[in-house]
Amino acid sequence: MCFIRITFVAIMADAPLKILIADDEPDIIEIISFHLMKAGFDIATARDGSEAIEKAKQFEPDCIILDVMMPKRTGFEVCEYLRSNSQFDKTLIVLLTALNDEASHIKGLELGGDDFVTKPISPKVLISRITALFRRIQPAAGDSKIVTANGLTIDPAQYRTALNGVQYVLAKKEFELLYLLAAQKGRVFLRNEILSQVWGNDVIVGDRTIDVHIRKIRAKLGIDCITTVKGVGYKFDY
């Protein structure tokens, strides 16, 4: 098993940020690897979904680029598996697909993907979107305070959520959505605000995506801590 190591320094990191590329097309892997290495990232590769999971466990990447249509396990299945494992709470997931239908994009984002890129791929666009994702998760000064409310603790630095001392695993977007609302308890966030701050302006998702994530948060924590303000948006109320 061979990982590709480089000596460049990726943007916004003291050490190279690590990216795992999983695609069953050798040409795609070669092109993406070449450009990401030039940009200063540390690269590992996988040729199918099962190998992607094993490499992810060993390489512990900061970001995983997953082709949707892979043998053994699809990108959707790998994404769902990773988001159910606390080891990858902070890992960014970018899905690649030749499918350009809205349903596939929504499914990928609902499973916990952070972005969706359609083939054929522009390396420059891919790098800019990955860089934007990394920039978005960098905590600004003063923005990393732990939120507590009636036994619920939300720690943005560790991406950890606990209720009465019991830790719960939330998918990355579920956590970011919960923290956004909880950090300003009682404030009603408009749907557009949530989409912009959690998913960013470059990713197209619908209202249903927010609803699904909030339903999952409620189900996982077993509490109704997010109130729907009909026709307006959502607020944290616990």
- Give the tens place of pLDDT for each residue, 145-179: 888 988 999 988 788 899 998 988 888 888 889 99
Q: What is the pLDDT of residue 141?
A: 43
Q: At what angle do helices 102-110 and 75-83 cross, to 10 degrees?
A: 20
CA 203 to chain centre: 12
Q: What is the pLDDT of residue 207?
A: 64
Q: What is the pLDDT of residue 8?
A: 36
3-state DSSP assignment of residue 159: coil
Q: What is the pLDDT of residue 18?
A: 92
Mean pLDDT within 72-88: 90
Q: pLDDT class for 139, splitting at 50, 70, 90?
A: low
Residues 6 or more apart whose Cβ sits within 8 Å of residue 2: none
Could you tell me the two tokens for 214? 């909030």
Q: What is the pLDDT of residue 206?
A: 64
Q: What is the pLDDT of residue 73?
A: 93
- Buried/exposed 57-83: b ≥16 CB within 10 Å, e otherwise: eebebbbbbbbbbbeebbbbbbbbbbb
Q: pLDDT class for 53, splitting at 50, 70, 90?
A: very high
142 has a pLDDT exceeding 50:
no
Q: What dotted CATH number matches 18-137?
A: 3.40.50.2300
**Residues 69, 77: contact at Cβ < 8 Å?**
no
**Residues 41, 6: contact at Cβ < 8 Å?**
yes
Q: pLDDT class for 84, splitting at 50, 70, 90?
A: confident
Q: What is the pLDDT of residue 138?
A: 62
Cis peptide before 120 (omega within 30 of 0): yes
Mean pLDDT within 31-59: 92
Does this chain's domain 18-137 share its CATH topology with 147-236?
no
| Domain residue extents for the chain | 18-137, 147-236
How far apart CA 202 and CA 129 sit, in angstroms, is 8
Could you tell me the two tokens for 48? 């199918």
Beta bridge partners of 37: none
**Cβ–Cβ contacts within 10 Å for residue 183, how many?**
15
Q: What is the pLDDT of residue 9?
A: 38
Query: From residue 236, how far is each of 42, 72, 177, 202, 210 by CA, in Å?
Result: 39, 40, 10, 26, 14
pTM attached to this predicted model: 0.64
Looking at per-residue pLDDT, the higher value among 237 and 139 belongs to 237
3-state DSSP assignment of residue 206: coil
Which fold does the domain 147-236 belong to in CATH?
Arc Repressor Mutant, subunit A (1.10.10)
**Residues 188, 235: contact at Cβ < 8 Å?**
yes
